[in-house]
Amino acid sequence: MTCTEGFAYDRRARVCVDIDECRTVPDACRGDMQCVNQNGGYLCIPRGLYSQPTYPRAEPYPLPPPPGPVAPSYPIVSRSAPCILGYTLSEDGTCNDIDECVTDSHQCNPTQVCINTAGGYTCSCTEGYWLVGGQCQDIDECRYGYCQQLCANVPGSYSCSCNPGFTLNPDSRTCQDVDECADEPCSHGCFNTYGSYMCNCDEGFELASDGTTCNDLNECGFSEFLCQHRCVNTPGSFQCHCPGGYYLYEDGRSCEDINECETGNNTCTTAQVCFNFQGGYTCLDQLKCDPPYIELSDNQCMCSSENPACRDRPFTILYRHMDLSSGRSVPADIFQMQATTRYPGAFYIFQIKGPGNEGREFYMRQTSNVSATLVLSRPIKGPRVLVLDLEMVTVNNVINFRGSSIIRLTIYVSEYPF
């Protein structure tokens, strides 16, 4: 036999009897609710509104009802509670929601948060937690890339930070490059890079080990050939200096001789001749020929063959002047001498005569029958003034003639090798 919902068939009595759900259903009512069985079902009623009746148990529904007034077969609910489950009757007769979260009548575990709802409540987790196995566990937000750079997980939340050279944006997640150059950390130039910066120095300076300051470069220490004479280091650069008697050339490094004779910056008188040489000048007096020589021109003396005192003397003495740089590389051809008059059957001998070549710095090299060259064979340093007599001997065996002429060469050796 099949019974309606809420009843079960009793084979012995052969009738349908009520099922007591308050006993057979686990946790039929929760919280502060009292399970009350009734024919064909059950009710969950707040305990404060429930009173237990003393009436006998209801009989199976196939039996006829007893004569006269019949007593109810279920618990009596106070007539002052017309509100549905989860509400309570207020003094003005309206039904107000029961806040189970405030009255602590909920069944949320300590890790959960109670959220009141109309007529009930729900158990949830706070932000930053999720429900795992009935328990609220912290969410590791750092595993999901919430932060652009650095992330630190904290209970229920997370904290973003940035690498050096970056600052956290107002969204507290992304990072923005810091323009360190705005604070002028470099002593000279600054170049901002992504997350950092680079310092650079002006020309003539080098970056120090601290990466921010600039030290002056001593260009003069790089090479001794940077300047022709003397190098003076200056902040960020250098200057070349020349000795007295020279000026700095337009290349800023070479030294050029000042020709005092052309500029007029000399002390020679009108009766003298100004002779310029490297680094200086000299004033030459007018030529005076020593007897028995007589003046042939402004730079030449002659001893006449008709004068007995001129026998065995050079026929002419020609005065010449030249300058020579100190330390000039050798061998070097520095002066040329040749016969101006040629005689049939004659030949010529060239030689250095007299003092002035004690150190053997010079020699004559004959280059043709009528010419020779003065050669510097050893380096010579100045300042010095040397006087050499360069003799040309003329020999003619046809007419049995032998004579000579001299060039008296004065050499001004400068102090510097330029």
Model confidence at 49, pLDDT cuts 50, 70, 90, reads low
Clarify whether residues 246 and 342 are in a common domain.
no
Clarify whether residues 333 and 294 are in a common domain.
yes
Query: At residue 402, does pLDDT exceed 70?
Result: yes
Q: What is the pLDDT of residue 263?
A: 95
Span of 65-79, 146-160, 220-234, 329-343 with lowest mean pLDDT: 65-79
Q: Under a CB-based contact definition with an 8 Å cutoff, are residues 137 and 112 in contact?
A: no
Phi-psi label, residue 220: left if phi above 0, alpha if psi -120 to 50, beta otherwise:
alpha
In a domain, 336, yes or no: yes
- CA pair distance 406, 301, nearest whole angstrom: 10
Q: What is the pLDDT of residue 366?
A: 96
Choose among 116, 115, 146: nearest CA to 128: 146
Model confidence at 148, pLDDT cuts 50, 70, 90, reads very high
Q: What is the pLDDT of residues 263-320, one digit of tens each?
A: 999 999 999 999 999 999 999 999 999 999 999 999 999 999 899 999 889 999 999 9
Two tokens at 296?
């042939």
Clarify whether residues 357 and 245 are in a common domain.
no
Q: What is the pLDDT of residue 284?
A: 96
Host H or E run for residue 76: strand 76-77
CB half-sphere exposure, 186, CA atoms < 13 A: 22
Clarify whether residues 294 and 395 are in a common domain.
yes
Model confidence at 13, pLDDT cuts 50, 70, 90, reads low
Boundary (domain end) residue, out of 202, 236, 257: 257
| pTM score over 0.75 | no
Query: At residue 173, does pLDDT exceed 80?
Result: yes
- CA pair distance 309, 120, nearest whole angstrom: 155
N-term to C-term CA, the chain: 139
Query: At residue 101, does pLDDT exceed 70?
Result: yes
Longest alpha-carbon distance in the chain: 201
3-state SS string over 233-288?
Answer: EECCEEEEECCCCEEECCCCCCEEECCHHHHCCCCCCCCCEEEEECCEEEEECCCC
Model confidence at 19, pLDDT cuts 50, 70, 90, reads confident
Q: How many domains does the chain have?
A: 4
In a domain, 63, yes or no: no
Q: What is the pLDDT of residue 80?
A: 47
CB half-sphere exposure, 311, CA atoms < 13 A: 2
Query: At residue 3, does pLDDT exceed 90?
Result: no
Q: What is the pLDDT of residues 234-275, one digit of tens each?
A: 999 999 999 999 999 999 999 999 999 999 999 999 999 999
Clarify whether residues 253 and 312 are in a common domain.
no
Average pLDDT over residues 106-131: 87
What is the extent of the structural domain holding 244? 219-257
